[in-house]
Chain A
Amino acid sequence: MVNLQPYASPSYFIIIGLCLLPIIVGLYHGKRFVAYETLFSLVFIVLTFGGDHWHQGVALIGYVLYQLLIVGGYARYRRRNNQTSVFVAAVVVAIVPLVVVKVTPAIQVGSQSLLGFLGISYLTFKAVQMVMELRDGTIKAFQPLPFLRFLLFFPTISSGPIDRYRRFEKDYRTAPERAKYLQLLNKAVFYLFLGFLYKFVLGYIFGKLLLPEVAHAALLQRAAFFHTGLSLPLLGYMYTYSMYLFFDFAGYSLFAVAISYLMGIETPMNFNRPFAAHNIKDFWNRWHMTLSFWFRDFIFMRFTFFLMKHKLVKNRVRISQCAYLVNFLIMGFWHGVTWFYIVYGLFHASAIIINDYWLRFKKRHQGLPHNRWTEGLAIFTTFNIVCFSFLIFSGFLNVLWFK
């Protein structure tokens, strides 16, 4: 059977464009064809996880049933009771499959868990979010079908952006007004073409043409600088990889957002000129935003409240430092259980803590110069620190030092 990987080839865009036509025409006339949309989503999910990826398809079905049981079960329980232990148990159980998938390659080198499939992380974010919001009472009723629709919304199924249930459901329940939909359509076309430029032109140039070159050059310099391999080509690798990472992922995100818009769903944006960030905090408000906001709302904030409520740490500054550390450490582990992802997490935690010190220092010393030169310096510094973190993230140092 055929297998179509999301946003991977021109034919994918042609097929998706044709399949979307009825939905677009319907929405233009203010109607949402729910049955057609459901069928169309199912077909695309089958195309993505069928064919020679069928084992992933099986894992996906099993996973969805499992989450349905947990979220549904917790919602039922939550109607009458609200014990913290049950809530914690529900969250833990919801992330167990993801943990297994992430830990398996670390224990058995080179092997992948049978539970895994493309996009399991993103589905887990959505499921855990449901449990947390049910606990908070911001989501009151649990309806299996809308939940499935949210979980399996196919434009974002493989790599986000991570939407929120209430926002998604509100978009889905109505069709946008014509003027509004035309705006969405207009943006969608722009994002699609910007995505083509990002992913298939710039991402290709940086990732496929330049990256192997600089990687090779950097590997030849293994013995440089007292056998640390620190060399100019390594610096070249750092910048090239950073550019590749951004254009590839931002390109993908633009496609996902554009296709969502065409379907009348305003999936949130993932990137907002991240390399123009003035500091690390600012960077995380611009880079992979739906992920960092998810972490902010469901890990950072919750952990902060937890510390304050139980008075584990008194000093407010220390509290936020602890929360940053936990936040980025979990993010590191989420990327994968390898030393470089974990170091990447710790690096960003340290960077943001140091940045916090600086921001407080600046507040106390109002007389510090502030002009476009200092702003330029801030952007330049942030950019380089971020690129360095991506060098860690790339895993290239692992190859350079240990392989």
Chain B
Amino acid sequence: MNAHKTIWQIIGPVIVAVALVAVVFIVPQGFGNVSKQTEQKAAVSLSTNVFKGNKIKSQAIDDGYVPFIGSSELSRMDPLHPSVLATKYHRSYQPFLLGKPGTQSLVHYFALSGVMRHLKNRKVVFIVSPQWFTKQGQMPTAFDYYYSPLETIHWLTHAHDSVATRYAAQRLLTMPSASSDRIMKAAITNVAAGKAITSGQRTYLTTKEKLLVNADDLYSRLVSGRRLRHIQQAERQLPAHDSTAQLTKVANRLGAQATGNNRFGVKDSFYNLRLRGHNVQNLRQAERNFNYTQSPEYSDMELLLSQFAKYHVQVMVVIPPVNHKWAKYTGLSDKMYAQTDHKIKTQLQSQGFTHIVDLTHDGGQKYFMEDTIHLGWRGWLKMDQQVKPFLSRKQPAAHYRIQNRFFSRTWQLSQNK
């Protein structure tokens, strides 16, 4: 009958559309590599899509980019920022920035699980903020925001039972993201209990992974060039030669230009935006009781370290300071900060992570910090003095000895006397 013909004319295109979408997303596509230009944009974009994805990160690492793993400090892109220095002076390495406000060890652990094999015998710079080491550790809302289903599925389908794996799965289960997918949650629960994932779960996960891989492949190419343009503009303020003396002069000049309207040596624009008026009043002595010495973050960091060890990644760890004047004002304890620093270093050194840039004593230097807790002009420069030789010269192979005790609650709570 006529009506039947009409109905096919109506739903025919729908079926075709659904089929086409299925083909695009479920069948492996391999849309080809992203362009060098996209790679360059992505390396400094701090885009959450790139962070959660796999395609661009893996390709960039294969092409020689060095991951700079950190958090909010990476967005402080003044002319002394590592990305600007590396671009301007055509260094043998180029940073690939991974991290934004709220990304801590646990987020990085999952977000890097698919790219770890690309990092085998390569180098990374890991900026560990003592501010991560709160009683709660990784904030669940931030975890949710940066949670990458793609990388987490990769992790799940490649998980081998170990103390680290169980710990990671248990931590994941405490995050709301773990509940976003019922079958995945069941698989994580299995892994947390030391069991293998079922074949049904594996089928589901690999199907979902295909979909996500294709989506990543398609969409991660859309990267904004805004930060790259910013970097290129910042380059113009640097001297022609890569000399510490000249760079220090520039850092001092830029620091002096940008600060001055407040007693903390905080960048004026930051002060106006975030602190001026009531805010600063409310923060007086507000951090008196802050304690970074006891935190699940220690074990979360251990997850990353164990992955670095497994893939023989050569890691340079940077521990930034707080702005000294600011710490005094807010009552943040020097002693506590030093203890935190010591505990982090103990954990690193006892396992063979010996390339450490400890800046925690430099927070009082002029123009070292851009604002309250983030490295700026001279801080970046000081870091560069160790990062540059580490990344440009060949390093002897690292020998890591991972110790499971760092996954224990005892270590998290240890006061490290």
Contacts and interface: CB of A to CB of B under 8 A. Distances in A.
Given A178-B3, A193-B17, A186 B226 contact: no
Contact of A182 (B3, B224, B226): B3
A62 B352 CA distance: 62
Which of B7, B11, B17 counts the most A-chain CB atoms under 10 A from its CB?
B7
B3 A189 contact: no
A216 B10 contact: no
B224 A213 contact: yes
Nearest to B224: A213
Contacts of A92: none
Given A209-B222, A209-B224, A216-B226, A182 B13 contact: no
B222 A186 contact: no
B224 A189 contact: no
Contact of B7 (A182, A209, A212): A182
Interface residues of B, number: 12
Interface string B1-33: 001001101110110010000000000000000
A186 B10 contact: yes
A28 interface: yes
Interface in A183-237: 185-186, 189, 193, 209, 212-213, 216-217
A185 B224 CA distance: 40
Given A178-B3, A209-B222, A209-B224, A185 B17 contact: no
A335 B14 CA distance: 37
Nearest to A217: B226
A179 B9 CA distance: 14
Which residue among B6, B9, B13 has the maximum number of chain A CB atoms within 10 Å of its CB? B6
Given A178-B3, A182-B3, A182-B6, A189 B11 contact: yes
A95 to B, nearest CB: 35
Interface size class of A (residues with CB under 8 A): 10 to 19
Contact of B13 (A178, A189, A213, A217): A189
Contacts of B10: 182, 185-186, 189
Contacts of A178: 3
A186 B9 CA distance: 9
A28 B3 CA distance: 9
Nearest to B25: A10
Interface string A244-285: 000000000000000000000000000000000000000000
Contacts of A209: 222, 224
Interface string A10-41: 00000000000000000010000000000000
A2 to B, nearest CB: 8
A209 B17 CA distance: 25
Nearest to B225: A213
Interface string A122-139: 000000000000000000
Contacts of B3: 28, 178-179, 182
A333 B245 CA distance: 60
Nearest to A181: B3
Given A189-B13, A193-B17, A213 B7 contact: no
A213 B17 CA distance: 32
A248 to B, nearest CB: 18
Contacts of B11: 189
A39 to B, nearest CB: 23
Nearest to B176: A52
A231 to B, nearest CB: 16
B7 A185 contact: yes
A59 B11 CA distance: 39
Contact of A28 (B7, B17, B222, B224): B7
Nearest to B14: A189
A89 B221 CA distance: 58
A43 B226 CA distance: 44
Contacts of B13: 189
Given A189-B11, A193-B17, A213 B226 contact: yes
Interface string B142-163: 0000000000000000000000
A122 B9 CA distance: 35
Nearest to A14: B18
Interface in A303-333: none
A79 B9 CA distance: 51
Contacts of A185: 7, 10
B330 to A, nearest CB: 23
Interface string B214-225: 000000001010
B273 to A, nearest CB: 8
Contacts of A28: 3, 7
A48 B7 CA distance: 31
A377 B7 CA distance: 44
Interface string B103-142: 0000000000000000000000000000000000000000
Interface of B: 3, 6-7, 9-11, 13-14, 17, 222, 224, 226
Given A182-B6, A189-B13, A216-B226, 5 more contacts: A178-B3, A182-B10, A209-B224, A212-B224, A213-B226
The 6 closest A-B pairs by CB, nearest first: A182-B6, A186-B10, A185-B10, A213-B226, A189-B10, A178-B3
17 contacts: A28-B3, A28-B7, A178-B3, A179-B3, A182-B7, A185-B7, A185-B10, A186-B6, A186-B9, A186-B10, A189-B11, A189-B14, A209-B224, A213-B224, A213-B226, A216-B226, A217-B226
